[in-house]
């Protein structure tokens, strides 16, 4: 690892539009551990240069379609087992009703989330799908997306490791798709680690899905989960994995940096959340490694300090719902949208509602979907203020 160039010179290099090598990023991290102020200043500069003073969010409805899951992650409480009170299987009628409610509340995103291929593990899921006329969860997602689209919402699906053909079919009704990389380290997949019982979380499997999405030209949201037992260098490696994918295919629209929160009755219930200072350093590093990227943190997972992350380079809050909870983190309610907007204004930012696809990626969206978005968008590709009245 090279330590010949001072960190301050490396940071200056980035402001001159020069790429940062992985070894240089390691060095910047090590020096920022002692004093991060210079890193934070450069990350702010890069955010302003690439994104101005605009911070965005997506006003969404969270459709918890089916939360049975073939995987078992050591930190997850989203997954249900048959017979549990929290088990969910949304009917077509449920979807239509919730979509209509979302439209009345001026939501524009239909976020569809499911467990990983539950029909492969649970007879209950397989039978339920068959009763409703479907052979797979992915097939039902296509139909659910059509329902939401007809009600005036724009679907964004996060359903784990979809096949190439499934993604290609969903592209007809979804303006974007999502798949968290979580981490590119295979160490986290070893016995005793959080992804050991989750075959879909193997980095090679996830990277292959992201590559397929790139080849298909689908706008993708991905991201990294911070605090699940990884090292700082493994986080940096993961950011570079995402950067390489984006440089190759040009379809990564957003990187989520999500701070782990321990949940009761899980194997990681006693694991600590990442310290905020550490989290901020990694957020700032993401900005300097991929300067032009849309970078978000979920505000409900940093409820007392989310606005402070504007000072380390983020430009988006992700989806916030005025009507549905975060089913993945139900213990962490969304902040009120007006409250987030006020905090942004106090920090000198303008907050606007975007679609589930960022304006700069509209060109990748199916023409019929793009035409629908343009009916309620402004000249910048954001949801028009007139529509939000």
- pLDDT tens series, the chain, 389 aa: 444 577 888 888 888 888 999 999 999 999 999 999 999 999 999 999 999 999 999 999 999 999 999 999 999 999 999 999 999 999 999 999 999 999 999 999 999 999 999 999 999 999 999 999 999 999 999 999 999 999 999 999 999 999 999 999 999 999 999 999 999 999 999 999 999 999 999 999 999 999 999 999 999 999 999 999 999 999 999 999 999 999 999 999 999 999 999 999 899 999 999 999 999 999 999 999 999 999 999 999 999 999 999 999 999 999 999 999 999 999 999 999 999 999 999 999 999 999 999 999 999 999 999 999 999 999 999 999 999 98
Stated pTM of the model:
0.96
43 within domain boundaries? no
Contact between 67 and 55 (Cβ < 8 Å): no
Whose tokens are 């524009």? That residue is: 108
211 within domain boundaries? yes
Contact between 43 and 313 (Cβ < 8 Å): yes
Q: How far apart are CA 314 and CA 8, in angstroms?
A: 21
Contact between 65 and 113 (Cβ < 8 Å): yes
338 within domain boundaries? yes
pLDDT at 10: 87
385 within domain boundaries? no
Q: How many domains does the chain have?
A: 1
90 within domain boundaries? yes
Q: How far is CA 321 from CA 17, 204, 335, in A?
A: 37, 32, 9
For residue 275, what are the contacts with CB-CB under 8 A and spacing of at least 6? none
| Residue range of the domain that includes 325 | 55-374
Contact between 68 and 118 (Cβ < 8 Å): yes
Give helix 37-51 / helix 276-289 axis angle, nearest 10°.
50
Q: How far apart are CA 233 and CA 229, in angstroms?
A: 12
DSSP 320-342: E-SSS--TTSTTSPPPPHHHHHH
77 within domain boundaries? yes
Domain of 269, CATH number, reads: 3.20.20.70
387 within domain boundaries? no
210 within domain boundaries? yes
């Amino acid at each position: 690892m090279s330590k010949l160039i001072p960190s301050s010179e490396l940071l200056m290099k980035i402001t001159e539009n020069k790429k940062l090598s992985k070894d240089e990023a390691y060095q910047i991290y090590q020096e920022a551990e002692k004093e991060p102020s210079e890193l934070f200043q450069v990350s702010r500069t890069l955010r302003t240069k690439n994104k101005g003073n605009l911070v965005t969010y997506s006003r969404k409805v969270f459709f918890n379609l089916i939360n049975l899951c073939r995987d078992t992650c050591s930190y997850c409480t989203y997954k249900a087992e048959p017979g549990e009170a929290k088990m969910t299987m949304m009917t077509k009628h449920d979807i239509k009703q919730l979509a209509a409610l979302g439209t009345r509340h001026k939501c524009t995103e239909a976020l569809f989330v499911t467990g990983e291929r539950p029909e492969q593990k649970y007879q209950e899921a397989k039978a339920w799908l068959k009763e409703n006329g479907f052979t797979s969860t992915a097939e039902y997602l296509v139909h659910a997306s059509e329902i939401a689209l007809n009600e005036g919402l724009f679907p964004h699906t996060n359903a784990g490791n979809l096949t190439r053909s499934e993604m290609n079919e969903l592209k007809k009704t979804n303006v974007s798709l999502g798949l968290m990389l979580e981490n590119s380290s295979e160490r986290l997949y070893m016995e005793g680690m959080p992804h050991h019982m989750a075959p879909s979380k193997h980095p090679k499997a996830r990277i292959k899905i992201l590559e397929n999405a790139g080849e298909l030209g689908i706008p993708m949201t991905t991201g990294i989960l911070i605090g699940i037992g990884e090292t700082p260098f493994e986080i940096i490696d993961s950011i570079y994995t995402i950067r390489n994918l984006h440089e190759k295919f040009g379809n990564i629209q957003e990187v989520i940096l999500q701070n782990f929160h321990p949940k009761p009755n899980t194997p990681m219930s006693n694991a600590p959340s990442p310290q905020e200072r550490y989290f901020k350093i990694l957020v700032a590093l993401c900005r300097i490694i991929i300067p032009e990227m849309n970078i978000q943190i979920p505000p409900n997972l940093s409820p007392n300090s989310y606005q402070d992350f504007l000072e380390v380079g983020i430009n988006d809050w992700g989806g916030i719902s005025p009507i549905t909870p975060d089913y993945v983190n139900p213990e962490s309610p969304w902040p009120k949208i007006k409250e987030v907007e006020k905090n942004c204004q106090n920090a000198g930012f303008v907050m606007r509602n975007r679609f589930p696809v960022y304006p700069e990626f509209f060109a990748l969206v199916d023409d019929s979907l793009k035409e629908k978005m343009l009916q309620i968008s402004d000249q910048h590709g954001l949801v028009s203020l007139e529509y939000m009245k």
